Amino acid sequence: MSKNYPELLPPNRILMGPGPSDIHPRVLDAIGKPTVGHLDPFYLSTMDQMQSMLRDLFQTKNEMTFAVSATGSAGMEATVVNLIEPGDAMLVCVNGVFGTRMADVATRAGADVTCIERPWGEIFEPQDLKEILAEKQPKVVGIVMAETSTGAWQPIEEISTLVHDAGAMLLVDAVTSLGGVPVEVDRWNIDAIYSGTQKCLSCPPGLAPVSFNERAIESVLTRKTKVQSWYLDVSMLASYWGDDRVYHHTAPINMSYALYEALRVIHEEGLTACFERHRLNHRALQAGLTAMGIEFTAQDGHQLPMLNAVRIPDGVDDGQIRGSLLSRFGIEIGGGLGEFKGKVWRIGLMGYASRDTNVLTLLAALDQLLAEQGCKFDRGIAIAEANRVYASSVTSAN
């Protein structure tokens, strides 16, 4: 072979976009550990402990809590295809890209889908669902808890009560919320939920944690038709993740090591401290950006700590700023999706990326780049305001 292919030398980036986010060093180390067989006693006990940590993180006792071998969208697909049979009515709440995707997945699974919509950046209030629930009597209602395209933080609990009063099951997208804000599966009576590893879990993309409660599993076991996807059929996956350990597919062993270690990192920090860290770094970033005159897009009082969607200031070149952030400062932030394309930046403070050093580095970089583009603001004020938030949090903690 005459051609020489270059050695793989990825640059070190600071990943502050909508995911993937920074990987915890312990998680990267875990991926390189020796691969064992997927039925090796060591691997089976690792799976058991991973399941137990996932239950803690989802705050559930659900037996059927495990990781689908694929990214967050496969978690979406897995929950939808198991709960839906062709012709079943499903209601999907759409206020951004991921609600739209859920409606598409449900349509492909043969559901009779009704979408209700709210403007991007806004959330659903319980009264928005009341009438349509009575009219459509859906089997499943799907909703996104953390809409990564807009930064809106959707409350779940009250809507869950309404959905169950109407006799439906509640399906929640927790891809960006899990690990960043509280997700209380049992207390909120969520029937099925899915997440992904590369948002707030400080882990590379590749696994989708999911959980089904007994009501959801009962509905899978009493289906008239087979689950349309062989790979994602939860009744078959149950025999692999349950006590029987029946071979279904070869689990991605080293990716499971990564998730195991990522969950251990969260477990050691503690959920309360982890959520508090996400909130503090968000407050510091928000103080800094606001001081530069930059506005947030999410509805007041419903801003997610880990995904900050902000309006690009007038006259600023989106591509140039994001390009320079990457090439000169090694920082990745996200552009807008869909109707926010070219208008919005999405700044992630997810998992291991949610650190004071990242917040201060990004604000320093934006201070320089926005000044170069002629924006008017007090140079340095963003960094000072962020530092003020950090300083006051230290005082109040003492």
Ligand X SMILES: *Cc1c(COP(=O)(O)O)cnc(C)c1O
Question: Which of 27, 46, 51, 72: binder of ligand X (CB under 6 A)?
Answer: 72
Of all residues in the shown chain, the one whose CB is closest to ligand X is 72
Nearest distance from residue 34's CB to ligand X, in Å? 27
Interaction between residue 73 and ligand X (CB under 6 A)? yes
Nearer to ligand X, 202 or 313 (CB): 202
* Residue 303 per-residue DSSP state: B
* Binding residues for ligand X restricted to 320-379, rule: CB under 6 A: none
Segment contacting ligand X by CB under 6 A, of 111-119, 142-150, 279-287, 322-330? 142-150
Compute the radius of gyration of the chain from its Cα atoms.
22
Dist CA 255 CA 207 (whole Å): 7
Q: Which of residues 275-294 bind ligand X (CB under 6 A)?
A: none
Binding mask 184-223 for ligand X (x = CB under 6 A): ------------x--x-----x------------------
Euclidean distance between CA atoms 228 and 14, whole angstroms? 40
Given 79, 176, 303, 354, the residue binding ligand X (CB under 6 A): 176
Q: Which of 14, 16, 17, 19 touches ligand X by CB under 6 A?
A: 19
| Coil, helix or strand at residue 100 | helix
Which of 298, 275, 17, 18 minimizes the C-alpha distance to 148? Answer: 18
Residues 119/159/136/190 CA torsion (nearest 10 deg): 120
Instruction: Enter the tokens of residue 224.
Output: 């008239």
Q: Which of 21, 46, 71, 211 binds ligand X (CB under 6 A)?
A: 71
Contact present, 56 and 184 (Cβ < 8 Å): no
Helix spans in the chain (H): 25-31, 41-58, 72-83, 97-108, 126-136, 157-165, 214-221, 234-241, 253-269, 271-291, 318-329, 356-372, 381-397
Q: How far is the CB of 72 from ligand X (least distance, A)?
A: 3
For residue 311, which phi and psi values (nearest 5 degrees)? -75, 135
Q: Which stretch binds ligand X (CB under 6 A): 71-79, 117-125, 184-192, 247-255?
A: 71-79
Contact (CB, 8 A) for 60 and 209: no
- Scanning 46-54, 58-66, 168-176, 390-398 for contacts with ligand X by CB under 6 A, the matching segment is 168-176
Q: Closest separation between CB of residue 220 and ligand X, Å?
A: 22
Of 152, 147, 151, nearest to 172 by C-alpha is 147
**Smallest separation (angstroms) from ligand X to the CB of 119:** 17
Least distance in Å: CB of 338 to ligand X? Answer: 13
Alpha carbon distance, N-terminus to C-terminus of the chain: 65
CB of 267 to ligand X, least distance (A): 22
* DSSP summary character for residue 296: B
Listed ranges 72-80, 184-192, 274-282, 289-297: which one lies at the site for ligand X (CB under 6 A): 72-80
* Total residues at interface with ligand X (CB under 6 A): 15
- C-beta of 144 vs 274, nearer to ligand X: 144
Task: Return the range that interacts with ligand X (CB under 6 A); candidates 65-73, 246-254, 298-306, 324-332.
Answer: 65-73
Least Å distance between CB 71 and ligand X? Answer: 3
Using CB under 6 A, pick the residue from 23, 53, 133, 175 that binds ligand X.
Answer: 175
* Chain mean position to CA 13: 20
**Residues forming beta bridges with residue 331, ordered by sequence position:** 14
Cα(114)–Cα(30) distance, integer angstroms: 43
Q: Rounded to an integer, what distance in angstroms lies between the CA atom of residue 8 and that of residue 27? A: 20
Stretch that binds ligand X, among 67-75, 163-171, 182-190, 315-323 (CB under 6 A): 67-75
Contact set with ligand X (CB under 6 A): 19, 71-73, 76, 98, 144, 146, 148, 173, 175-176, 196, 199, 205
